[in-house]
Amino acid sequence: MTDMHECDTPQTASSPLDNLTHNRIAVIARSLVETIETGISASVTGSVNPAGGRGTPMGNAKAIWILYASLSAGNVCAQEVFLQGGTQGVGLGAALNVNPSFGLHADFNGLNFSHNFTIGGNLYEDEVHLRQGGVYGDFFPWSASGFRLTGGLRLTDDHLTAVSTPSNGMYEFQGKLYPAYPGESATAEVRYPTAMPYLGIGYGHQSAARGLGFIADLGVAYGIPQVSYTLSPTLERLAGPAMSSDIAATGLQELKQKVSPYRWYPTVQIGVSYRF
């Protein structure tokens, strides 16, 4: 007699219950994609609201739909949806197991928050937009345990835009104070690469009992942020060509130094899952 794979089941005609389960999976998958396509944003107060606009990686939502809808009709061990939160923001996703030792999961996370900083003695008020989606492979060294090794590709539209703000009506340039006239400002922008490799460890997404479960991820993604530092036309005109060039060059260099450590993007996410 041929040994049956741990995840294999005898080939039988589909029952009404099987059809109901697949229909339920399809409905949840569609709902998942609709939610992902609107995006997720959270303010510093912790509220979560739909966030549209540019930057939502729509291709990642489609990838989740393809994985979830097509494989839910195939011979896989189980299906799962999950909610999570952490350094990537608030997110949701879907997971499946190919066999007891290997699985796949995809997610989308988003967050908006403010984080002011200084460059050259001047305050910059910024708005940070995190939009991240990814597709990952999960390897379970011990099939009876939820511990896993995870690697994959993270797709991002993470960016920061900060505008200088005068202090007591003054700007500081090259160690000297100057009156801040209307229309004078400098803008600092930071953007992560569109695709970043990810490697980490985690718990959950394992083909165990159905129902509620716990998931966690600890890892790091790598990508060198791209930066720009520009002066408003009014500031360029009042400062003059030579001084404008010095201000822009000094600001760009300081901005690069500030963001350089963030090429390593740490990930700490925890959440809950539901397996069908």
Phi, psi (deg, nearest 5) at residue 197: -70, 150
In this prediction, residues 43-63 reach a mean pLDDT of 39
Separation CA 222–CA 199 (nearest Å): 9
2 within some domain? no
- Higher-confidence residue of 173 and 124: namely 124
Q: Are strands 159-165 and 122-139 parallel, antiparallel or unpaired?
A: antiparallel
- In this structure, of 25-34, 53-62, 117-126, the range with the lowest mean pLDDT score is 53-62
Answer whether 98's CB lies under 8 Å from 88's CB.
no
* 71 domain residue, yes or no: yes
DSSP symbols for 152-204? EEEEE--EEEEEEE-BTTEEEETTEEEE--TT--EEEEEE--SEEEEEEEEE-
User: 160 lies in a domain?
Assistant: yes
CB 53 within 8 A of CB 38: no
- Looking at residue 79, its pLDDT comes to 82
Question: pLDDT digit string (tens) for 217-266?
Answer: 999 999 999 999 999 998 888 888 888 899 899 989 999 998 999 899 99
Is residue 135 in a domain? yes
Under the banding of pLDDT at 50, 70 and 90, the label for residue 168 is confident
Q: What is the CATH number of the domain that holds 257?
A: 2.40.160
User: What pTM value is reported for the model?
Assistant: 0.70
Which stretch of DSSP H or E encloses residue 257?
Answer: helix 241-259
State the total domains in the chain: 1
What's at 184, amino acid-wise?
E
Distance of alpha carbon 213 from alpha carbon 241, whole angstroms: 61
Nearest to 64 by CA among 85, 33, 42, 90: 33
Question: In the predicted model, is pLDDT for residue 61 greater than 50?
Answer: no
- Is 8 part of any domain? no
> What is the span of the domain harbouring residue 78?
16-275
pLDDT of residue 226: 93
Q: What is the DSSP string of 38-101?
A: H--EE-TT--EE---STT--HHHHHHHHHHHHHHHTSS-S-EEEEEEEETTEEEEEEEEEEETT
Out of 58-67, 134-143, 148-157, pick the least confident.
58-67
Please determine, for residue 16, whether its predicted confidence score (pLDDT) is greater than 80. Answer: no
Is the Cβ–Cβ distance between 89 and 111 less than 8 Å?
A: yes
**pLDDT score recorded for residue 27:** 54
DSSP class of residue 120 equals T
Residue 23's pLDDT band (boundaries 50, 70, 90)?
low
Residue 142 backbone phi and psi in degrees, to 5: -125, 110
Other Cβ atoms within 10 Å of 59 Cβ, number: 10
Question: What whole-number distance in Å separates Cα of residue 81 and Cα of residue 208?
Answer: 14
Residue 152 confidence (pLDDT): 95
The answer, yes or no, to whether residue 6 has pLDDT greater than 90, is no
Q: Are 90 and 49 in contact (CB under 8 A)?
A: no
Angstrom distance (rounded) from CA 238 to CA 240: 6
Q: How confident is the model at residue 24 (pLDDT cuts 50, 70, 90)?
A: low
Task: Tell me the angle at which helices 16-38 and 58-72 cross, rounded to the nearest 10 degrees.
Answer: 180
125 belongs to a structural domain: yes
In a domain, 82, yes or no: yes
